[in-house]
Structure 1
Amino acid sequence: MRFTPATIALAAVLTMVSSVGISQRPDSQINPLSVQWVEKGNAARAAGNLQAANDAYETALAVDPRNRGAFIALGDVARQQQLQGKAVRYYKGALALDPADMTALSGTVTALVERGALANARETLSRMKTLCRTDCGEVAKLGTLIENKAIAQAQTAPPAIPDGKETAQQP
């Protein structure tokens, strides 16, 4: 009889804990309203209205911040607007949800190459190679993109001054 209040309290706690687990959605289930906003964003982007697409994707993330597709789409829109730094941040948001997302990794590499950050692009590409167990055409394509950008940068770089001597400037 002395243990009855403790037993009742323990039963109440176990009931509360188990009911919390039942009511939560699994991590893989995205809110349907968020998916609808992503579809609206896709339609706006297809129509060429990048601002409306951006707004729709941001709304999708406000509804459900676990929507990787919205992060990736925002990254793609940012790249189309020549905002590579912003695109990389959005792709990193998608990678925070799934570090093995090849679409987000591919978008990150492309944005880094467009930005001129070839060392970071190569690092991300090596991560893709590690994750891709089979022959991935995307990895080869991105490797070629990085090398072409490196060659273009080398051709447009100012010539180095030989022997580290500075040339005399004439007034």
Structure 2
Amino acid sequence: MRFAPAAAALSLALVMTASVTSAGDREADPRAAALIVEGQALLNAGDTQGAIDAFEAALAVDPGYTPIFLNLAEAARQDGLQGKAIKYYREALARDPNNFAAISGEGEALVEKGALEKAKRNLSRLESLCGANCPETVALQSSIAAGPPARLAAETAEAGPTSN
């Protein structure tokens, strides 16, 4: 009898771990899937705010579906909100640490912010996980090679060297 509470807690922990592990490969709730399709159409049409609204609605319907965070991150990047995009990519990575799209997307957003060294760490991680010819690795390599956007490079040059 003295071990019953501990056994119940351990059982609950194992059940939660098993359900979280198996949740990564599941399909989205049909209502969320419809909202994701709507959001992607809006994003392709250039309506980033409409897309973000649709993706956030999908997240409210199905908060356990990790790919929604990738969609939100892409919309945030297109809206020029790289910091917010990085937050969404990191949420996806917290749920699925080896998500190639999230690692690559975060690296590309880091390049867009001018954080090339951090982006190169993502590239190294991708190369070790999926190889040098993986589509995500190639995409991040080309982003790093292109460097930060011209606007950011010009701002950095205008600021000049910083002193400590």
Once the two structures are superposed, residues 100-119 of structure 1 have per-residue CA deviations (whole angstroms, 9 ceiling, x without a partner) of: 21111111111000000111
The alignment partner of 2:123 has SS state of helix
Give the TM-score normalised by the residue count of structure 2: 0.71
Are residue 53 (structure 1) and residue 51 (structure 2) matched?
yes
Q: Which has the higher contact order (CA 8 A, sep 6+)?
A: 2
User: Which residue number corresponds to residue 41 of structure 2?
Assistant: 43
Q: Is the 1:84–1:112 Cα contact (8 Å) retained in structure 2?
A: yes
SS at match of 1:41: helix
Judge conservation of contact 2:39–2:51 (CA < 8 Å) in 1.
Answer: yes
Query: Does the 8 Å CA contact 1:66/1:97 hold for their aligned counterparts?
Result: no
In terms of mean alpha carbon deviation, does 43-52 or 82-91 score higher?
43-52
Partner of 1:143: 141
Report the equivalent of 1:109: 107
SS in 2 for 1:65: coil
Ranges in structure 1 where 5+ consecutive residues have no aligned partner: 1-12, 161-171
Q: Which consecutive residues of structure 2, in runs of 5 or more, have no partner in the other structure?
A: 1-7
The 5-angstrom pairing of residues 1-171 of structure 1 reads 27=23, 28-29=25-26, 30-133=28-131, 135-149=133-147, 153=153, 157=157
Q: CA deviation at 1:134?
A: 6.2
Tell me, in whole angstroms, the C-alpha distance in 1 between the residues paired with 2:79 and 2:101: 19
TM-score by length of 1: 0.68
In the alignment, the residues of structure 2 paired with residue 85 and residue 75 of structure 1 have an alpha-carbon distance, to the nearest angstrom, of: 9
AA partner of residue 134 (structure 2): C
Name which one, 1 or 2, has greater alpha-carbon Rg. 1
- Distance in 2 between residues matched to 1:56 and 1:137, nearest whole Å: 27
Partner-residue secondary structure (3-state), 2:147: helix
Tell whether the 8 Å contact from 2:89 to 2:103 is kept in structure 1 after alignment.
yes
Task: Write out per-residue CA displacement over residues 45-95 of structure 1, whole angstroms, 9 at most, x where no aligned residue.
Answer: 222221111011001111111222211111111111111000111111111
Q: In the alignment, is the contact (CA less than 8 A) between 2:39 and 2:55 conserved in 1?
A: yes
